[in-house]
Amino acid sequence: MALRSFIEVAEDSNFPLENLPFGVFKPRDGSARVGVALGEYVVDLAALEAAGHFKDLGDQKLFGRDSLNDFLALGRPVWKKVREILQTLLAAGNPALRDDLKLREQVFHRQSDVAMQLPVKIGNYTDFYSSYHHAHNVGTMLRGAENALMPNWKWLPVAYHGRASSVVVSGSGVRRPKGQIKPPDAPSPVFGPTKSLDYELEMAFLIGPGNSLGQPVPVDQAVDHIFGFVLMNDWSARDIQAWEYQPLGPFLAKNFCTSISPWVVTMEALEPFRKPLPKQDPEPLPYLRAKNDFTFAIQLEAALQTPKLKTPQTITRTNFQNLYWSVSQQLAHHAVGGCNLQPGDLLASGTISGPSEDSRGCMLELTWRGANPLKLESGEERKWLEDGDILSITGWCEGDGYRVGFGEVSGKVVPALA
């Protein structure tokens, strides 16, 4: 049964009253501030704060800011209180804001009239590798099916430290990177634009309160440190990756650009879509064993728009439940040696591939390293992304009469610098 607001929300909207994802936006005439999405609108929390609607939180000013970091640092009791205030204030039967037409003019902005920014200042970004099917497919290509998974894969959530400064918000162009590429039959590498630009369909979560240096986070307390989730595209240059990745892992193949969606869907909004984490075999070491560990049922799609396609063509259909390791395990593992996580840190899932061919979350797997090009409805073929292509990832949870959605993360490939 869907909640009702006095703001009309279409049944298939990503942003009903049950969702209220947080973001940072800039209105046409004004500075960046915090808002939540509701239907076609952004609700301006700085304007509500100025009007005294958050006075229960004390006199701290939280929302007239260009990032969510300070709000994230406050933790779940404050997040829940703000959500409760908003759900009450925006409900159909409450006249407090509904009938205050002057305040409504300041509070509601059409999403089409504002510019979304990165929701947080990201201090650190980590990318996991937690989909069994992705790891198995990539391992099969590199080492054969017998040795597809490295011996550590089912014992720990494998990850690398990524680059935070090149994380951009959805809608930003993605410049084709140049780098060293070693053609298989050439004696030495060449320098030039990547010929195998790829996307990776991922989700990522944002850290709320951090932990002190030297103090691990017990796996059963990990969720207290998670604010919410975004969609992510980990753009990848496969030819650069193939030459550089040994022995220390990805570097320039990944650090030129990573795109995230602007709206952060909170753990509270995702709560109805929790599912038990499937049994893990072998049983993980004790520090990774959470009581009642969980995943979420989140449907995910990637669509490709080429210059010739009339409408975007869906090329991946997958689900967050395809991840082997839980977010609690990822977080607990990240901090177990004493690494301090900080508000606004971004921890990503890795490519989310499922068991079927159409659930593969990147071109590398979909085309099996270019051996089976994608055939598009326009008659075009794609082994990898080409200049002018737009890749968009969407995600949503299907509720009873409503949908908790993430919106999208989208990026257009622009040619390499001359």
- Of 66-74, 200-208, 296-304, 400-408, the segment contacting Ca ion by CB under 5 A is 200-208
Active-site option among 134, 225, 333, 334: 134
CB of 130 to Ca ion, least distance (A): 10
Query: Which 8-state DSSP code applies to residue 83?
Result: H
CB of 32 to Ca ion, least distance (A): 28
- Residue 197 near residue 176 (C-beta atoms within 8 A): yes
CA distance 159 to 374: 29
- Of 193-201, 225-233, 318-326, 337-345, the segment contacting Ca ion by CB under 5 A is 193-201
Residue 247, preceding peptide bond in cis (omega within 30° of 0): yes
Q: What are phi and psi of 359, to 5 degrees?
A: -100, 10
Q: Which is nearer to Ca ion, 127 or 301 (CB)?
A: 127
- Of 48-56, 119-127, 147-155, 294-302, the segment contacting Ca ion by CB under 5 A is 119-127
User: Within 69-108, which residues bind Ca ion (CB under 5 A)?
Assistant: none
Is position 225 annotated as part of the catalytic site? no
User: Within 314-373, which residues bind Ca ion (CB under 5 A)?
Assistant: none
CB of 215 to Ca ion, least distance (A): 28
Exposed / middle / buried, residue 294 (Cβ in 10 Å: 0-12, 13-18, 19+)? middle
Residue nearest to Ca ion (CB): 234
Q: What are phi and psi of 157, to 5 degrees?
A: -75, 100
CB of 163 to Ca ion, least distance (A): 12
Q: Which is nearer to Ca ion, 198 or 268 (CB)?
A: 198
CA distance 94 to 246: 60
CA 101 to chain centroid: 36
Q: What is the dihedral of CA 72, 88, 115, 407, to 10 degrees?
A: 80
- Of 125-133, 134-142, 170-178, 381-389, the segment contacting Ca ion by CB under 5 A is 125-133
SS3 label, residue 20: coil
Residues in Cβ contact with 67 at an 8 Å cutoff, skipping those fewer than 6 apart: 24, 118, 119, 120, 121, 344
Q: Which is nearer to Ca ion, 200 or 293 (CB)?
A: 200
Q: Which is nearer to Ca ion, 74 or 260 (CB)?
A: 260
Q: Which is nearer to Ca ion, 353 or 392 (CB)?
A: 353
CB of 17 to Ca ion, least distance (A): 33
Contact pick of 49, 198, 200, 389 for Ca ion (by CB under 5 A) = 200
Residues in Cβ contact with 224 at an 8 Å cutoff, skipping those fewer than 6 apart: 75, 76, 208, 209
Q: Which is nearer to Ca ion, 200 or 345 (CB)?
A: 200
Q: Which is nearer to Ca ion, 114 or 201 (CB)?
A: 201
Of 350, 290, 345, give the one whose Cα is nearest residue 132. Answer: 350
Is residue 127 close enough to count as binding Ca ion by CB under 5 A?
Answer: yes
- Residue 186 near residue 246 (C-beta atoms within 8 A): no
CB of 362 to Ca ion, least distance (A): 8
CB of 70 to Ca ion, least distance (A): 29
CA distance 239 to 260: 23
User: Within 364-383, which residues bind Ca ion (CB under 5 A)?
Assistant: none
Cα dist from 287 to 213, 332, 337, 348, whole Å: 18, 8, 11, 20
Residues in Cβ contact with 308 at an 8 Å cutoff, skipping those fewer than 6 apart: 376, 378, 379, 380
CA distance 56 to 122: 29
Size of the site for Ca ion (CB under 5 A): 3
Is residue 234 close enough to count as binding Ca ion by CB under 5 A?
Answer: yes
Is residue 389 close enough to count as binding Ca ion by CB under 5 A?
Answer: no
CB of 409 to Ca ion, least distance (A): 13
- Of 30-38, 222-230, 233-241, 256-264, the segment contacting Ca ion by CB under 5 A is 233-241
Q: Which is nearer to Ca ion, 108 or 128 (CB)?
A: 128
CA distance 223 to 217: 10
Which residue shows structure tokens 């960046």? 32
| Catalytic residue list | 134
Q: Please report, as ranges, the residues that interact with Ca ion according to CB under 5 A.
A: 127, 200, 234
